[in-house]
Each structure stands twice: as C-alpha cells, then as structure tokens.
Structure 1
Amino acid sequence: MKIEIWSDVMCPFCYIGKRNFEAALAKFPDRDDIEVEWKSFRLDPAMPEVPRYQENMYQFVAARKGISYDQSVAMHEQVARMAENAGLDYQFDKMLVTNSLKAHRIIQMAKTKGLGEKAEERLFYAYFTEGKNLSDDAVLTELGISIGLTATEVKEALTNPVFQHQVEADGAEASRLGAKGVPFFVIDRKYAIAGAQPGTEILKVLQTAYAEWKKDNPGLIHVRQGNTCAPGNDCTN
C-alpha cells in the first residue's frame, strides 16, 4: 500500500508530522507492506534566498504576520515544545530563513537513488537543529554527500531544470488532491491526513486504509525468503 507525503523541509509541523508518522508505522504490524514516497511542496515559492531578517526567525515571522516580536517568540516556544514532545530539538535561534527550492531539488535527485526519506530527514535536521543555510550550494553539497549522493549528482540536482520541474509537478499534484498546506499524507489515494496529527490518529487511518487495500488485493501473499533454486538450476542461499 502506498503512502505519499507532501512536505516542505522548512515547515516545523512537517518534521513533527514525520516523527508522528514514524511512531504510528512502528506500531503497525503490516508496515513491511507499506511503500512511502516523499513529495515536494513549497510553502512560499516567491521567497528570496536571502529574505529580510534571515538570521532572526522571530523577527521574520513577526514582520510577516504583523505581530509583535514577543508574540512571535511565544509562538515559537510553543512549537519548540511540540517538537520536543516528538523527540526533536528545534533551535529557532539558529535558523536561517530561505527559499526551499534548492533543498527540494536535492530531495528529487535523492529519490532517483532510493534516498528520498534519508534526504528529508537530513535536511530537516540541518535546518531546524543545526541552523544550516539550505540555499548555500556548498552546504547542500556537504549534506548531499552525507546521505550518499556524489558532488556531481548534487550539482546536477541544482542545475538541471528537470528537478525543478519535478518539484513544481509535486506541488501542482498536491493542489489537485485538495492540499491546503503541509504535511499532507495521502494513503492509497483514498484517505488523506492533513497536518501533524498524533501518531495514534495516524495509526487508526493506516489500519482502516490497509484493511480496504488488502481486501482489494486478495492475491497478496507474504513471503519469508530462505534458500531457493530458480529455473535453470540457479540456486542461491
């Protein structure tokens, strides 16, 4: 059963939602039958790479939302507590606000190598905990290499238009499916979960969707692999 997850690596609730989803999946007995695909969703495509107040998240949000600096600090402290409850360490004092397009380009390249989830996790941590600048090519090269990409592949991701087109296609697809924001989970194209729902709620939806999926796939069998011989006397262990 396929689960598609739209997120932005600079969305605080997306990282929390990822952890909640992982907690639900860990309690799901049929998790080996689950295929997860991460998809791109940019919350602010028009944001410059170096926005005003880039080095001060509190001031950036205060100006953007038209609230006071103290209100912004209080709001971020509340989000940090939510993150802590999910096992995450948000360092808003370190965060560098930027456009997320380049990070999504890296994710799209990583997906072609089977490294999509690894890229999401590394980029989330780099942004929310380490305070890395995710619009800096050198930083992105370092992060890409750390998950298993080569420097050449990172450069390809950052320069080849096909990867930006894939980012944009993901965003357009999310809109067609009714996503108003992220995180946005689509399960078997029948159920959707919007926002960072608790793991217990995600688990309930997983169980319901999986029961229906299994009913629709009656020929599915579970195989425990052992020593085998294939046609042509090709025996392996």
Structure 2
Amino acid sequence: MNELKSKNTNHSEKQKKMKIEIWSDVMCPFCYIGKRNFEAALAQFPGREHIDVKWKSFQLDPSIPEVPQHRENVYQFVASRKGVSYEQSVQMHEQVVKMAKDAGLDYHFDKVLVTNSLKAHRLIQFAKTKGLGEQVEERLFHAYFTEGKDLSVDAVLTELGSDIGLTHDQVTEALTDPTFLHKAEADAAEAGELGITGVPFFVIDRQYGISGAQPVAGMLRVLQTAYAAWLQSNSAPLQVVDGKTCTPGSECAE
C-alpha cells in the first residue's frame, strides 16, 4: 500500500460511492493479472455496490513503434529491450504464465504481437464515454494475451469494439478524433502528478494506493481499510456553528 503524492479528494463533500481508479496498459501482463485479483477481492467485499471503478490510461513505453522489431517473438523483443539472454526471457515469461494461470487466465506469449498501445488507449477512452470501460479493458487484454490479436490494425480494433457493442463509426471516431488522444495523455499526466511510475496501480479514494498485481487477500484488506475510512468521512454529522435563524411556522430568532 503506497502513500500518494497528491490527495485531491475534498472530503467535505459527501460522495455516494467510493472511487477506485486503475491505471494500466493493455500490453502489461501484470495489469491483466491485477485486474483478475482485484475482481476476486471485490467479489468478497460486502460494500462492493458502493464502489465506482474508473479505468485510466498509462503507456509503459510510448516509444515502441507500431510494428517494432521482433514483434512476432515477444521473448526476443524483451531480451533485446532488457539486455538479457533469450533463455532468461523465456524463463521470465514462463513465470508470468504461471502467475496468470493462478489468477484464472490463459496466457499465450507465443502468439503475442508486440505493438504500440496508443490505439488501444484511444479505444479505451472512447468506450469509457459509453460506460464500457471495464468491458473494453477485458476484451483488449484477452485479445492480446490469449488470442494473439494485432492491436495495431484498425480492423481488429473495430472487431473488438463490436464485441462490446461499439459500431464501426464509433471505433473510427475513437481512432481519429484527437479528443481521445488528449484524454489518454491526460490520464498519463495525472499518474505522474500522483507519483505513479508503474502499472497496474490502484488508487482508492485518493487516499490509498496499491502498486502491482497484489494477491487477492492483500487487495481485500486495503479495500476494507479504505472503505471504513470512506464511510466515516461520508457519514460524519455536519459541524454547525449557531447563528440567528428563521424556522418554518415560527418567528425568527432574535
């Protein structure tokens, strides 16, 4: 659990739901695992109907070309980027596959097509305006890590958008309207202001932070702690300073 650099929530204003913001990149294997663990924790959390989840964009490496070298061999791609041997890269990925399986996910790194994730984030930003933030995150994660879909191809993103109820024209708007690029950039800038340097990162009520794909039990503990604090701040009686008043059906007080 991390302390955030900036705490912008005004707790003098009572909130109907406790907000949880999740910064992630659709091409981050730990983000999908973190999503599943968070969902498992939320399923065990009695106050889940009082939780409002907001997904946020975070590009781990904006410098990656849309079609980078070794895009069809993620083991070689990571080995080259991290300066490790091919064998070490394979071993690292095997460990992640095991983590994913423990979370109920089926990763196929042999199918993964490495690409720049900006187009995916533009689609995410548009989907959020339609109340489809969780659905688009899930579909893109599954497409990338399990199905080996090429997220640099507009037609593929159109297909994935259709799977969650978006039309061809809506996906085209997402990929061409600069509004959704700016929204993705704004999320990244906000992450920087909060001191977030890696994903997944879960910000709870702008008071608590969870970094990485934490185990379900750990996430549940933080949820419980944060929710208890949120309930207290949103149920405290008003602090009243007495002054002269008028009340219905009576004279005004002197």
Q: 2:195 aligns with which of 178, 185, 189?
A: 178
- 1:127: which partner in 2? 144
* CA offset digits 1:169-217 (Å, max 9, x no partner): 0001011111110000000000000000111001111001100100111
Aligned equivalents of 2:64, 2:79: Cα separation in 1: 16
Say which SS state the counterpart of residue 162 (structure 1) adopts: helix
Say which SS state the counterpart of residue 235 (structure 2) adopts: coil
TM-score, scaled relative to structure 1: 0.92
Q: 2:153 aligns with which of 129, 136, 139?
A: 136
Q: 1:37 aligns with which of 44, 49, 54?
A: 54
The answer on 1:19 being equivalent to 2:44 is: no
- Cα deviation for residue 46 of structure 1 reads 1.1
Give the partner amino acid of 2:195: G
- Cα deviation for residue 63 of structure 1 reads 0.7
Give the partner amino acid of 1:172: A
Aligned equivalents of 2:121, 2:115: Cα separation in 1: 12
Give the partner amino acid of 1:202: M
Aligned equivalents of 1:121, 1:10: Cα separation in 2: 12
- Cα deviation for residue 22 of structure 1 reads 0.3
Aligned equivalents of 1:61, 1:105: Cα separation in 2: 25
Larger Cα Rg: Structure 1 or Structure 2? 2
1:32-71 map, 5 Å: 32-71=49-88
The answer on 1:114 being equivalent to 2:131 is: yes
Aligned equivalents of 1:149, 1:109: Cα separation in 2: 10
CA RMSD of aligned residues (A): 1.0
Structure 1: where are the runs of 5+ without partners?
A: 221-237
Q: Percent identity?
A: 72
The alignment covers a number of residue pairs equal to 220
- 2:227: which partner in 1? 210
Aligned equivalents of 1:27, 1:102: Cα separation in 2: 34
- 2:95: which partner in 1? 78
Aligned equivalents of 1:35, 1:16: Cα separation in 2: 20
Say which SS state the counterpart of residue 129 (structure 1) adopts: helix
The structure, 1 or 2, with the larger RCO (C-alpha pairs under 8 Å, 6+ apart) is 2
Aligned equivalents of 2:234, 2:86: Cα separation in 1: 54
Say which SS state the counterpart of residue 179 (structure 2) adopts: helix
1:153-164 map, 5 Å: 153-164=170-181
Aligned equivalents of 2:54, 2:83: Cα separation in 1: 36
- 2:105: which partner in 1? 88
Q: 1:192 aligns with which of 196, 200, 209?
A: 209
- Cα deviation for residue 219 of structure 1 reads 7.5
Which deviates more, 210-219 or 160-169?
210-219
Say which SS state the counterpart of residue 217 (structure 1) adopts: helix
TM-score, scaled relative to structure 2: 0.86
- 2:27: which partner in 1? 10
Moved over 6 A (4+): none
Aligned equivalents of 2:79, 2:235: Cα separation in 1: 54
Aligned equivalents of 2:145, 2:212: Cα separation in 1: 18
* CA offset digits 1:116-155 (Å, max 9, x no partner): 0000000000000000000100000000011011110000
* CA offset digits 1:83-111 (Å, max 9, x no partner): 00000000000000000000000000000
